[in-house]
């Protein structure tokens, strides 16, 4: 399997894991053409409460482990669950509370990347 297929498969599983817990405002920031980016892409979403943010992050980690046998390199943010980051190497998942997402505004920070919004499914 090529690297592109692996990235696509990982991205699909991440999106499915997010949607399984009704993550809101899912956005893909494709930075693969940017030389200064630390990852090929960010997947950004939000939950409605700290409990929802935790549930979304857990869902992604469980979904990738069960369906792709993929473990994250690391993750952080569970202590306060306002912004949980899950590192899958080329893809980094950010699960925010809405006010934290607005504060850090990663989409604006990486506005020179290709940004795709995934419609909410509910």
At 52, which CATH number? 3.30.460.10
Cα–Cα distance measured from residue 38 to residue 7, given in angstroms and rounded to the nearest whole number? 15
For residue 45, the enclosing domain spans 3-118
With beta carbons less than 8 A apart as the criterion, state whether 66 and 58 touch: no
- In the predicted model, what is the mean pLDDT of the chain? 93
Structurally, the chain folds into a number of domains equal to: 1
Angle (CA) 36 110 15, round 5°: 105
Angle at 46 between CA 85 and CA 86, to 5 degrees: 15
How much of the chain exceeds pLDDT 90, in percent?
86
Residue range 32-68, pLDDT digits in tens? 999 888 899 999 999 999 999 999 999 999 999 999 9
Scanning the structure block, which residue is given the tokens 């469980």?
62
Q: What is the reported pLDDT for 121?
A: 82
pTM listed for this prediction: 0.92
Do 19 and 57 form a contact (C-beta atoms < 8 A)?
Answer: no
C-alpha pair distances (Å), 73 with each of 38, 49, 50, 114: 14, 25, 23, 24
Q: Give the pLDDT confidence of 92-108 residue by residue, as tens digits.
A: 999 999 999 999 999 99
């Amino acid at each position: 399997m090529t690297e592109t297929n692996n990235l696509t498969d990982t991205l699909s599983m991440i999106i499915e894991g997010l949607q399984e817990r009704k993550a809101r405002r899912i956005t893909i920031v494709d930075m693969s053409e940017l030389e200064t980016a630390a990852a090929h892409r960010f997947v950004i979403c939000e939950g409605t409460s700290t409990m929802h943010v935790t549930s979304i992050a857990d869902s992604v980690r469980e979904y990738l482990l069960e369906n792709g046998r993929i473990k994250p390199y690391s993750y952080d943010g569970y202590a306060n669950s306002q912004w949980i980051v899950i590192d899958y190497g080329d893809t980094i998942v950010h699960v925010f509370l809405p006010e934290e997402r607005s504060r850090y505004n990663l989409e604006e920070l990486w506005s020179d990347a290709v940004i795709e919004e995934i419609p909410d499914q509910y």
